Amino acid sequence: MKYTQLGNSDLQVSRICLGCMGFGNAGTGQHSWTVDETATREIVKHALDEGINFFDTAIAYQNGTSEEYLGRALNDFAKREDVVVATKFLPRSQQEIEKGVTGQEHIQRQLDLSLQHLGMDYVDLYIYHMWDYQTPIYDILDGMTQMVKAGKVRYIGIANCYAYQLAKANALAEKEGFAKFVSVQNHYNLLFREEEREMSKLCAEDNIAMTPYSALASGRLSRRPGEISRRLQEDSYAKLKYDGTADTDEKIILRVAELAEKYQVSMTEISLAWLLTKVTAPIAGATKLYHIDGAVKAVELDLSDEDLAYLEELYIPHKLVGVMAQNTRSGNKKEQVWMKNAPKGMQ
């Protein structure tokens, strides 16, 4: 495993971040394909053994049980100071807004609940999961900074935002003396490269770490077209994101398969090796032990300039999908899938 500094922080993170959305009680929350605590523990232990020290979860994942499973596993298999743990909070709910709960109060409540789930005193990276159009960014930054000053958070990050929002937030943070966002976690992979228009350039100029999710397009970049997995069959949200462009995306997937065959490696290794040339640490989910192996091997795979160009050549512009398409100024007031069976304390 190789390690790098996370943006303008002093956190040293593995080039692969283990995404924990696939962990948690499958009977509650957004996804039906998640793995139980026994499987979670095996995967986390294997990730640690392979040198992964960076773990990403969220209070929204499976009614908080992803945080619980991850926290107990790390407590048993690692020293707290040896791992970098990130979790995320959601925007204020309509119920909170109606009750007059401020953005600052909301953040403290969410963080305290996450820390309770994780069984930890602090998180290394606390991430603003998606832009809250009903809460001033001043209140968000103020609330997150209060948690940094309280010793419950080391650094803050943001996810699912536009480049202008990140630039605006960090400019305000500098003006007011608040903590700045050191990382951004957006949707970015070989099939969805819209981040290259503005976000990549902003992050390069300001040394903001990019830690993208859906690094393998929910598994589509790790297997040939037609190959089936439980997630491909049951993940309706991923279908919403990728089915609309499946025909054009398939041509890129076939090129991934072609290079995998050429170098006698997995498609996972090709897809992640490409992304590793663009970002700090892609978030790679795992529901089986071999998922870890493919991600780790990608760190050692060097693709030529010709390979990179070949993979990129067929890309065409994509419309925004998923959270960025749904979490709009008007859509922000609607209950979305990520709030399904939200943990008590998030209402």
- CB burial of residue 340 (10 Å; 0-12, 13-18, 19+): middle
Contacts of 85 (CB under 8 A, 6+ apart): 55, 57, 70, 74, 118, 120, 123, 124, 125
Strands, E, within the chain: which ranges? 3-5, 12-14, 17-19, 54-56, 84-89, 123-128, 153-159, 181-185, 209-210, 283-285
pTM comes to 0.92
Sign of CA dihedral 190, 22, 207, 317: positive
Each residue's pLDDT tens digit in the chain (347 positions)?
999 999 999 999 999 999 999 999 988 777 888 999 999 999 999 999 999 999 999 999 998 999 999 999 999 999 999 999 999 999 999 999 999 999 999 999 999 999 999 999 999 999 999 999 999 999 999 999 999 999 999 999 999 999 999 999 999 999 999 999 999 999 999 999 999 999 999 999 999 999 999 999 988 999 887 666 665 555 566 667 777 888 889 999 999 999 999 999 999 999 999 999 999 999 999 999 999 999 999 999 999 999 999 999 999 999 999 899 999 987 656 665 555 556 655 55
| Domain spans in the chain, listed from the N-terminal domain onward | 3-341
Bridge partners (DSSP) listed for residue 158: 128, 184
Residue with tokens 């960025």: 324
The CATH number corresponding to 3-341 among 3.40.50.2300, 3.30.70.20, 3.20.20.100, 3.40.190.10 equals 3.20.20.100
Q: How many residues does the chain have?
A: 347
Cβ neighbours, 10 Å, residue 261: 11
CA 200 centroid distance within chain? 16
What are all long-range contacts of 289-294, with beta carbons under 8 Å and residues at least 24 apart?
289/42, 289/43, 289/46, 291/43, 292/18, 292/43, 292/46, 292/47, 292/50, 292/52, 293/50, 294/222, 294/266, 294/268, 294/269
- Rg over CA atoms, the chain: 19
Annotated catalytic residues are 61
